[in-house]
A and B are shown apart, each in its own frame.
Chain A
């Protein structure tokens, strides 16, 4: 009886535990078939120093795609007295992964390549967050430019791409990535990774940064246990603590874990000095304290001076946050004060959640539908719960609200790991959780351009009616006498940038591609004519168009290429045969010649034979 009861108890406990098992724990830890070559670096936690070493190693091995930046070096110490390194003397390092980094100027932003920003360790004790960021970095750098490889040594190549699904049904998930996909992503995106936004906190294993004192109301030094860098961003900074709910949004208390940092106190828009005529004809400048910090960052023109949010009252007081802010502002290729960063992820622990703005208010953002859609898409590979940030708990002055509120970036916060994992997963599980997160990182990287369009147009999914080029290839083999007409039909033409459809063709496999614009025939039909080619040539062609500022995507039968995308359609081709004469005149000439030749020979033969027959008759009679 007791034994049976114990047995049942054991079974129940076991069941309970399996119910708690996360998606990644179902992966076979010991018998992993998908060893990435760099997994050896993820057997234990990185430190700030070992991370710097890793950066050096990656940059040296992949100089054409990896560049390491010191973001804190962008800080102008003279402006507000914020140091150009962290309070404990560390740097906020960023790594840019993209093609051509060795040739480009610093902080260059390629107009044709959307920018994705990933950050870890805003909170220094949440170590899982920087491991996951670093894993993505290694993944991109080490897989770039590799030929198709059988990564899991099962005899098949690229049969299980990283998408969170066991594509080949072998019990392992995502173990044989398509190398070409990585190459294409790096070539066509700019990925910025900041693994440790708060290196002081990482080193000291604290949530907040390493600041010791802050200026008080009267300029005195007030001791602090550090600033919560994820409450130090200007958007809605300084929202009041809500005693009724007991919720902390951000707090002015230097000792609290949600301490938002000191007030700004700077006249950012330079309008606090006014010229006063204090005696007739004599003028002096006085400082109007009302004109300092009078236009906080909340999306409104609080001081009615025509500018919005130009004099914040707080936020960006820390080198860590200022570094991020500078980066976001520097990445602006046409200097129109709109950042080029499209999507971003900030990693935190724990909770197995995917959070999106707003954090400060329960009101949904204008792009709420899109946020939910993308969040759900990313959740498929990890099972995380997708909710608005405020529904976890209200925050203000955090990264997400500011990236979205001030810069319109589609940003997510991931709370990695469950209760058991806590702020730092077990070292044996680092790779597992990184692999589990990988599909979501790739998703946001790849979809960035479409996300941008969907965001602009407030579309709630990525079904954004891109212009599609439809083409039916003529089956006839052309001959050297005729030009080859290429007709396409464009659907969703309203999204097509006018005059942007080009036909690329080349004559012969090793020739250079030639480019010609396609001409509009009517509302959605375009045409180009490939000139006459001599017989025996293979001609290849494809199309390219811009949907305002992104490329038309390949669907069935449509071509798309800047550089061949993985799994891409091959170009169309046709063979130019030699014409033997298709005109009526040619046929007539042939018939005449046949008649002539046959005529001479056969009538000649017939006549001769008849003559012979007659002669024989004659002779035999004779």
Chain B
């Protein structure tokens, strides 16, 4: 034992880990993004690639991340330093950077959800309310948006401050099952509405022409990737707190399947509500095609007001969404905090810095709102950095590749503690990673050009191509340059042989 060690942090039980992983995975993306993507990409035709990519991208990646994290017992930067080599610390830094940048705007989004949860219970929601005006009014009043952003950050900070067992684990163990129950209630209510059958038809009937569109496949892959938080660094980070005997394969499968299971329930709740309460299918389809915030805060809110009892369901729905958002936020916080702690800071100090940064750098996303209530900064950041996740995933692949994929599988994955034996197939799937990555990136880049034929080269075009190149370029350049500096920072020693984590004060 070394002097001055901090209390060891560990998941109290397997379920703590599982719920935490699911919580991290299940976020607003499951609830408003999945139904929209399904609806827009041919229903059943979307679900086929979506399921496929769960098994060909998300779960394999989660397995790899869990394994790396458990093995190195460091957050993303440390993991890359130790696993891939010091030259590649910047890759871990990229993962952390992408994660924290996403947190900047995710806190704002969680603020929106919290606001609407309060709206649902305030009685402000009545039939005939102009929900579009309500949304616009909210988003253009900086005081309100920032207030709820602060609330979101405050809640997350508090949970993360409490640490792994008392904070993150306990919170997830309460919120995740509750969230499932709430989503099931919402889904059952939606199914009880006359006309819900149309929603089910739209969601599940395979519209085969969509299978031929590249966009369907790309959307399925990106949805699967974002939704499960594979490549986020969450799995690496949470694996740091695994018990020695903890499994890293079956848990990955459970986390992935659990994430998709939540998506399905949320999808039914959302899509069936929309189809049941819209007067025509054409209208319903239009609603589904609207943007994510629009769907949740304008259309669904309006639709809820149309049914008696809808107001209760609105509360249920937004509460579920709030739970999902909280559990995702805390994972984001922990990823960054872990990296600071790995380099010697205390949890408190790391948390303070992290929270402050998230608040300050989240202000543009909170405040920059264009005419008509369009949060431009948020849209830009979401557009640029959510795909940064995919790059992170590639870095993980790279790390595994450097180790030797099959070697990795045989020695690190298939340990005596893993409940699921991973066969050779996993190696082949990993080799598919570059392909999937390339496919996705190519499509992403070409879309940001083709959708903005006149302005893609303009860095000020929020959803164009130039802004991606600019921001990624700058980030990568800085991180790579800083690689040596990062490496100068010593890692707090960890002793993984007896499975206990010991943290050391910097000398």
Contacts and interface: CB of A to CB of B under 8 A. Distances in A.
A23 interface: no
B251 interface: yes
Interface string B3-15: 0000000000010
Interface string A223-252: 000000000000000000000000000000
A594 interface: yes
Nearest to A603: B257
Contacts of A597: 44, 47, 51, 204, 264
A601 B261 contact: yes
Given A594-B204, A604-B257, A580 B18 contact: no
B446 interface: no
Nearest to B257: A605
Contacts of A601: 51, 257, 260-261, 264
B250 A594 contact: no
B251 A612 contact: yes
A536 interface: yes
A575 B417 CA distance: 62
Contacts of B417: 619
A586 B202 CA distance: 11
Contacts of B420: 611
Contacts of B258: 605
B474 interface: no
B264 A580 contact: no
Interface residues of A, number: 30
Interface in A359-418: none
B205 A586 contact: yes
B254 interface: yes
B51 A608 contact: no
Contacts of B51: 597, 600-601
Interface in B205-259: 205-206, 245, 247, 250-251, 253-254, 257-258
Nearest to B44: A593
Interface in A577-592: 577-581, 586-587, 589-590
A273 interface: no
Interface in B254-299: 254, 257-258, 260-261, 264, 280-282, 285
B198 A580 contact: yes
B205 A580 contact: yes
A609 B254 contact: yes
Contact of B202 (A580, A608, A611, A619): A580
B253 A604 contact: yes
Contact of B254 (A587, A612, A616): A612
Contacts of B251: 612
B201 interface: yes
Given A604-B257, A605-B258, A612 B250 contact: yes
A590 B250 contact: no
Contact of B261 (A536, A577, A605): A605
A535 B280 CA distance: 10
A615 B253 CA distance: 14
A268 B67 CA distance: 122
B216 to A, nearest CB: 15
A598 interface: yes
Given A536-B282, A612-B419, A586 B257 contact: no
A619 B14 CA distance: 11
Interface string B415-428: 00101100000000
A611 B260 CA distance: 19
Interface residues of B, number: 30
Interface string A193-219: 000000000000000000000000000
A566 interface: no
Majority SS of interface residues in chain B?
helix
Contacts of A608: 250, 253-254, 257
Given A586-B201, A601-B260, A577 B419 contact: no
A604 B420 CA distance: 13
A593 B14 contact: no
B250 A615 contact: yes
Contacts of B253: 604, 608
A477 B47 contact: no
Nearest to B50: A597
B200 interface: yes
Contacts of B280: 477, 575, 577-578
A594 B200 contact: yes
A593 B205 contact: yes
A593 B208 CA distance: 13
Contacts of B206: 589, 593
Interface string A513-538: 00000000000000000000001100
Nearest to A600: B51
B282 A577 contact: yes
A479 B281 CA distance: 9
A593 B257 contact: no
A612 B255 CA distance: 12
B14 A612 contact: yes
A615 B249 CA distance: 12
Contacts of B247: 612, 615
Contact of A535 (B254, B257, B282): B282
A615 B201 CA distance: 39
Contact of A590 (B204, B254, B261): B204
Nearest to A595: B204
Nearest to B420: A611
For B247, B254, B257, the residue with the greatest tally of chain A CB atoms inside 10 Å of its CB is B257
B419 A590 contact: no
B250 A577 contact: no
A602 interface: yes
A535 B281 contact: yes
Contacts of A615: 247, 250, 419
Given A580-B205, A589-B206, A612 B285 contact: no
A366 B211 CA distance: 80
19 contacts: A477-B280, A575-B280, A577-B281, A579-B281, A580-B198, A580-B201, A581-B201, A586-B201, A590-B204, A601-B51, A604-B253, A604-B257, A605-B254, A605-B261, A611-B420, A612-B250, A612-B419, A615-B247, A619-B245
Interchain residue pairs A-B with the least CB separation, the first 4: A580-B201, A605-B257, A615-B419, A593-B204
